[in-house]
Amino acid sequence: MKLLSNIVSGMFHPLLMVTYGVILALMFTYLTIYPPAMKLLLIGGAFLSTAVIPGLFIYMMVRSGAAGDLELSDRKERVVPYLILITSILVCVFYMYKMMLPFWLLSLLVGASVALLLAMLINFYWKISAHMLGVGGLLGGIMGISRIHLMNPYWTFIIVIVIAGLVGTSRIFLKRHTSMQVYAGFCLGFICTFVSSFLSYIYLFI
């Protein structure tokens, strides 16, 4: 059970959520018309900026002794990684903007940055689950995109909700978080990305 929990936690690590979101957007929206080379550039850019680079920073923190482990178990060690990830996502937003991606996708990434900023502020007083923040943000983004494009990908909803349950259970089983920290992380991520999808309508009026 511990091995399975670690596998689930690794597969759905917070650093991978933006990449998963971009992949889903390219698979299930009108962005599917993009040529394969363009899709690879977008996925590769998202993965490099929001997973590889922040991951390397965290690894260097552990190697230098600035952090105790890769899980950043001590909440006091999470402030700098949060700042790095927020910056990385904003760099990804700029990259996607230069690649002329639609505003609704950029707004969801901005929503993810807001969720991380709020989580960082909460982290000064209380440890919130970054894993569930990522999964909640992914589900909120999917629902936001579905509302924009009038889609109902119910199987995607079901799969992501099941994944959220598995990730939350894994984090509690591994004693990384309490149930309340898991619920709070999920709700914060979901609300921020879902609400950010409303920016698309504001953009239309502008």
40-96 confidence digits (pLDDT tens): 999 999 999 999 999 999 889 888 887 777 777 777 888 888 999 999 999 999 999
pLDDT for res 138: 95
- d(Cα 91, Cα 186) in Å, to the nearest integer? 24
pLDDT for res 185: 95
Q: Which whole number is the average pLDDT over 185-193?
A: 95
Phi-psi region of 29 (alpha: psi -120 to 50; beta: other; left: phi over 0): beta
Q: Which residue has the higher pLDDT, 63 or 138?
A: 138
Q: How confident is the model at residue 112 (pLDDT cuts 50, 70, 90)?
A: very high
- d(Cα 188, Cα 195) in Å, to the nearest integer? 11
- List CB contacts of 14: < 8 A, sequence separation 6 or more: 85, 130, 131, 133, 134
pLDDT for res 203: 63
pLDDT for res 204: 59
Q: With pLDDT > 90 as the criterion, what percentage of the chain qualifies?
A: 63
Q: Which residue has the higher pLDDT, 147 or 138?
A: 138
| Residue written as token pair 């009026």 | 205
Q: Quick check: pTM over 0.75?
A: yes
Give yes or no for a contact between 176 and 71, defined as CB atoms under 8 angstroms apart: yes
pLDDT for res 4: 83
- Judge whether residue 176 has pLDDT over 90: no
Q: How confident is the model at residue 205 (pLDDT cuts 50, 70, 90)?
A: low
- Judge whether residue 97 has pLDDT over 60: yes
Q: Which whole number is the average pLDDT over 157-185?
A: 92
Instruction: Of 178, 61, 181, give the one whose Cα is nearest residue 122.
Output: 181
